[in-house]
Amino acid sequence: MKFEVITKDNSCNARTGRLITSHGGISTPVFMPVATRGTIRALTFRDIEEIGFEIILSNTYHLYIRPGIDILEKAGGLHKFMNYDKPLLTDSGGFQVFSLSDLCKVHEYGVEFKSHLDGSSHLFTPEKVLDIQKVIGSDIMMVLDQCTNYPVTREEAKNAVDRTVNWAGLSYRYWKDSFDTDRQALFAIVQGSVYPDLREECASRLLQHDFSGYAIGGLSVGEPKELYREMTGITLQHIPDNKPKYMMGVGSPAEILYAVMYGVDMFDCVMPTRIARNGTLYTSLGRINIKSAANSDDFSPLDPNCGCYVCRNFSRAYLRHIFRMGEISSLIYNSYHNLFFMKEFLNEIRGSIEAGTFLQVYKKWTDIYK
Q: For its own copies, which is the closer residue by CB, 72 or 186?
A: 72
What count of residues does the chain have? 370
Q: What is 215-231 written as a DSSP string?
A: EE-S-SSS--HHHHHHH
What does the DSSP 8-state code read for residue 243?
S
Taking the complex as a whole, the smallest distance from the CB of residue 41 to its own copies amounts, in Å, to: 6
What does the alpha-carbon distance between residue 70 and residue 64 come to, in Å, rounded to a whole number?
Answer: 9
What does the alpha-carbon distance between residue 68 and residue 73 come to, in Å, rounded to a whole number?
Answer: 9
* Best CA proximity match to 48, nearest among 34, 62, 59: 34
Taking the complex as a whole, the smallest distance from the CB of residue 208 to its own copies amounts, in Å, to: 40
Answer yes or no: 268 catalytic.
Answer: yes
Name 79's bridge partners: none
What does the alpha-carbon distance between residue 97 and residue 254 come to, in Å, rounded to a whole number?
Answer: 28
Cis peptide before 67 (omega within 30 of 0): yes
Sign of the dihedral defined by the CA atoms of residues 34, 36, 41, 43, in that order:
positive
* Best CA proximity match to 34, nearest among 192, 328, 269: 269
Q: For its own copies, which is the closer residue by CB, 36 or 366?
A: 36
- The contact set with its own copies (CB under 8 A) reads 37-46, 66-67, 70-71, 74-75, 81-83, 296-297, 299, 309, 313-315, 317-318, 321-322, 324-325, 327-333
Answer yes or no: 177 catalytic.
Answer: no
Catalytic, out of 47, 145, 265, 268: 268
Catalytic, out of 47, 91, 145, 303: 91
Among all residues, which ones are annotated catalytic? 91, 268
